Amino acid sequence: MIFINSSFPNSQLVHRALTFFFITTLLASCSSFTHHKPDAANTEALVIIDPVNQQPAEPEQKLMAPGQNEDGSYNSIWDRIRNGYGLPEVNNDPINNQLRWYSNNQGHVNHFTAQCQPYLYYVVSEMETNGLPLELALLPIIESSYDPTVMSPSHAAGIWQFIPQTGKNFGLKKNNWYDGRKDVVASTEAAIRYLKKLHTMFDNDWLLAIAAYNAGEGTVYRAIEKNRRAGKPTDFWSLPLSKQTQSYVPHLLALAKVISDPKQYDLTLNPVANDPYFVKINVASQINLAQAAKLSAIDAGELKKLNAGFNGWLTHPTEACPVLVPIADAAAFTLQLESLPKLAIKQWQEHTVKKGDTLSSIAKHYGVSVDTITTINNVKKSSLRLGQQLQIPLSAPFMDPSMTAADELLAARKLQKEAGKTSYYTVKPGENLSGIAKAQNISRDTLAQLNHLSATSKLKPGQKILMLSQSTSEQHSSATSSSPRRITYTIQAGDTLFKIANRFNVTTKEILEWNQVKDESYIHPNQELIIMIPAKG
């Protein structure tokens, strides 16, 4: 160490010189350290990477969620739901009480797993698209057991149990023909909007949002304010809410635990495939769902339940609408759309049920049958009530001599379920609609109609094309070679099957076969019959 005596002559000059010397030496040391090449003794402490000789790293193992396939898909919808949970994990007595109930009610679990099969995939997909926790897809189990036809004593309807005013607030239409609260697609979209709104209103607290879905946002807000004024906590578990709402949130959280691990609660969860069940097919004009089901070989009850939004068997007379159809039946349904008889009904009379009215007196007054009124309005013969609105058809004879390839297919084929399944074809580079149709032994126009395309539509590689099953294609090929002319006849008062057969030079047996009717007792005035006029030789 060097000491500088301040009394030494020119000491300040010497001080500055020494300072400069130290700084210069320090910089030189740093420079030599930065560029110093390690000697052999130091190389062991360094990692030297040779880009030529480096061994390839082991591929990183992709972490898969339980029940998830390598491509990210799930075989079971339950696995998909479990891996999308987002609600807080809570364990308390109210939840344990619900779990004990479920442990003793395997029958209820069987019921809702069967009931939800047509709808759960759609609801889960919509929840995922909107970034919502997938426990919310279980709410319709609590609300309705996933039954779109359920109506509560307080007039809440559908799988999400919207009351009329809330349904209206979220854009669900309701008229004499249609109730959007029972429409699975429309009501699910509305429920998602409502749940997202509640989540925002209650500062992103899902338990409060779910409570508000049950009790109403005003009720939950008032309970929060009451606790705040009293200096009490304002979380869900601390709020003074009704017993129903106090059990509603624990019920959902308990149900989520059951779905997560049913064996823990001595329960069996019936499998539900992670596949879409239905497709939407746009219908431009009014159709009769019962007739469409019969022509498409679809179970009429299933088609009606998928489309529970329609109050009766008829779709809206003036508005285009989507109809939900099982994927397995989409091809047959699409092909028969244009061949459905144009409804003879041109005008409707709305009748309000008055004191003393009976179905017989109403039918006689308007000149229609009781069966026509009950079928169109989807009512039972003993269920009339004062003030009820009934749609009454005012009809006229109608014939449609036009015939399409689809008409020929439907008239010729047997109305039974096909052994084959509807399938999809993946378009390859360079392929077009004509080439694919030729390979499938159907016409280009039929294939275009089946996929809602124009005959000249350009296809993209990888595009999915809906195909007919082999049995349908064979029926189509044979049917289009026939040449009878198809008409639709509306039965008039006083008609008999024998008279109708004579009028068109056919047999009564043929009429029964064409319309899949057992005997004459199943026909009535205003009903439409398909008649195949023999080709003139």
- Interval 478-498: pLDDT, tens: 444 445 666 777 777 677 888
The pTM of this model reads 0.61
Using the Cα atoms of residue 157, residue 190, residue 165 and residue 228 in order, give the sign of their dihedral: positive
How much is the mean pLDDT over the chain?
78
Most confident of 44-58, 200-214, 462-476: 200-214
Identify the CATH homologous superfamily for domain 485-533: LysM domain (3.10.350.10)
What pLDDT was estimated at residue 64? 67
What pLDDT was estimated at residue 480? 44
In degrees and rounded to multiples of 5, residue 325 shows phi and psi of -130, 140
Most confident of 107-111, 175-179, 359-363, 432-436: 107-111
pLDDT above 90 as % of the chain:
40
In this predicted structure, the answer to whether residue 243 has a pLDDT above a threshold of 80 is yes
**Can 143 be counted among the known catalytic residues?**
yes
What pLDDT was estimated at residue 518? 65
What is the C-alpha to C-alpha distance for residues 420 and 490, in angstroms, rounded to an integer? 34
What is the C-alpha to C-alpha distance for residues 130 and 84, in angstroms, rounded to an integer? 12
Most confident of 169-183, 288-302, 506-520: 169-183
Domain chopping of the chain, boundaries: 77-265, 485-533
Confidence at 468, pLDDT banded by 50, 70, 90 = low
Confidence at 348, pLDDT banded by 50, 70, 90 = low
**Higher-scoring residue by pLDDT: 87, 48:** 87
Task: Match 């009903």 to its residue by tokens.
Answer: 527
Nearest to 150 by CA among 138, 162, 141, 158: 158
What pLDDT was estimated at residue 412? 33
Average pLDDT of the residues in 274-298: 88
Instruction: Give the Cα-Cα-Cα angle 152, 155, 157 (nearest 5 degrees).
Output: 70
Report the b/e string of 42-52 with b at 16+ CB within 10 A: eeeeeeeeeee
CATH number for region 77-265? 1.10.530.10
Tens-place pLDDT, residues 121-153: 999 999 999 999 999 999 999 999 999 999 998
Enter the DSSP assignment of 263.
G
In which element (H, E) is residue 486 found? strand 485-490
In degrees and rounded to multiples of 5, residue 250 shows phi and psi of -55, -35
Instruction: Give the chain's end-to-end CA distance (angstroms, integer).
Output: 129
Q: Do the domains 485-533 and 77-265 match in fold? A: no
One of 60, 126, 135, 143 is an active-site residue; which one? 143
Q: At what angle do helices 359-366 and 370-377 cross, to 10 degrees?
A: 110
The set of residues, in sequence order, having a beta carbon less than 8 Å from that of 164 and lying 6+ positions away, is 155, 174, 181
What pLDDT was estimated at residue 449? 65
Tens-place pLDDT, residues 8-18: 444 444 445 44
CB-side exposure of 43: number of CA atoms within 13 Å? 5
Three-state SS for 132-185 is CCHHHHHHHHHHHCCCCCCECCCCCECCCCECHHHHHHCCCCECCCEEHHHCHH
Nearest to 415 by CA among 297, 513, 335, 515: 297
E strands, 370-426, in order? 389-395, 423-426
